[in-house]
Amino acid sequence: MPSICSQTLNIIRCTVSRRVLNANQCAGRLAISALVLKMLLVSNCFALEQLPSPITKILNVYKIPASAVSIVVQDVDSKVPLVSVNSDIARNPASTIKLLTTFVALATLGPTYTWRTELYALGPINDGVLDGDLLLKGYGDPSLVVEEFWKMLGYLNAHGVSSITGDLVIDDTHFSISAIDPGAFDQQPYRLHNVIPNAAMANFKAIEFQFARSGNGKKVRITTHPELPNLKIVNKLTIRKGKCRGYQYGINMHIADSASNNNVVFSGAFPSGCQRHSMHRSVLNHDSYTFGTFVRLWKHWGGSMSGTFRKGIAPERVKPIVVKQSRPLAEIIRSVNKWSNNVMSRLLLYSLATTKYDAPTTKEQGIEVLREYLRENNIDDSKLVVDNGAGLSRDTRITAKLLNDLLRHAHRNPYMAEYVASLSIVGMDGTTKKRFRRQPQAGRMHLKTGRLDGVSAIAGFVQARDDKTYTTSLLVNHKIAHRGPGNEIQNALLKWVHDRPTAPSN
Sign of CA dihedral 479, 485, 490, 496: negative
Query: How high is the mean pLDDT of the chain?
Result: 91
Phi (first) and psi of residue 462, to 5 degrees: -120, 125
Radius of gyration over every alpha carbon of the chain, rounded to an integer in angstroms: 28
Query: Concatenated DSSP letters for 186-205?
Result: TS-TTSGGGPPP-TT--GGG
Omega within 30 of 0 (cis) for the link into 65? no
What is the reported pLDDT for 42? 39
E-strand spans in 154-228? 163-164, 168-171, 207-213, 220-225
Q: How many CB atoms lie within 10 A of CB 211?
A: 22
Question: 331 in the Ramachandran plot: left (φ > 0), alpha (ψ -120 to 50) or beta?
Answer: alpha
Contacts 24+ apart (CB under 8 A), 351-356: 351/105, 351/109, 351/115, 351/140, 352/101, 352/104, 352/105, 352/108, 352/109, 355/108, 355/109
Within 8 A by CB and 6+ apart from 104, the residues are 352, 369, 370, 373, 374
Q: Which of 148, 156, 200, 152 is nearest to 174 (CA)?
A: 200
Are 39 and 4 within 8 A, CB to CB? yes
Q: Which of 389, 225, 234, 392 is nearest to 296 (CA)?
A: 225
Are 265 and 211 within 8 A, CB to CB? no
Length of the chain: 506
Nearest-angstrom CA–CA distance, 374 and 380:
7
What is the reported pLDDT for 217? 79
Nearest-angstrom CA–CA distance, 506 and 504:
7
> Roughly what angle, to the nearest 10 degrees, separates helices 146-158 and 286-300?
60
What is the reported pLDDT for 143? 95
Q: How many CB atoms lie within 10 A of CB 300?
A: 11
- Consecutive H or E run containing 291: helix 286-300
pLDDT beyond 90 at 238? yes
What is the reported pLDDT for 389? 97
Model confidence band, residue 154 (pLDDT cutoffs 50, 70, 90): very high
Q: Which of 38, 26, 97 is nearest to 395 (CA)?
A: 97
| Mean pLDDT value across residues 406-418 | 98
What is the reported pLDDT for 502? 55
**Amino acid in position 385:** V
Alpha carbon distances (Å) from 266 to 225, 251, 276, 281: 16, 7, 15, 13
Percent of the chain with pLDDT strictly greater than 90: 85
Model confidence band, residue 6 (pLDDT cutoffs 50, 70, 90): very low
Q: Which of 199, 120, 197 is nearest to 164 (CA)?
A: 120
Task: Please write the tens of the pLDDT for every residue from 51-66.
Answer: 999 999 999 999 999 9
| Mean pLDDT value across residues 82-88 | 97
Nearest-angstrom CA–CA distance, 57 and 118:
57
Alpha carbon distances (Å) from 202 to 138, 140, 291, 361: 9, 10, 9, 19
Model confidence band, residue 179 (pLDDT cutoffs 50, 70, 90): confident
E-strand spans in 172-288? 207-213, 220-225, 232-240, 251-255, 263-271, 276-281
Q: 406 exposed, middle or buried (CB, 10 Å; 0-12, 13-18, 19+)?
A: buried
Q: How many CB atoms lie within 10 A of CB 454?
A: 18
Task: Please write the tens of the pLDDT for every residue from 454-498.
Answer: 999 999 999 999 999 999 999 999 999 999 999 999 999 999 999
pLDDT beyond 80 at 24? no
Q: Domains in the chain and their CATH numbers? A: 4-43 (no CATH), 53-112+329-498 (3.40.710.10), 116-179+286-325 (3.50.80.20), 207-281 (no CATH)
Within 8 A by CB and 6+ apart from 90, the residues are 383, 384, 385, 397, 398, 399
- Maximum separation of any 2 CA atoms in the chain, in Å: 105
What is the reported pLDDT for 260? 75
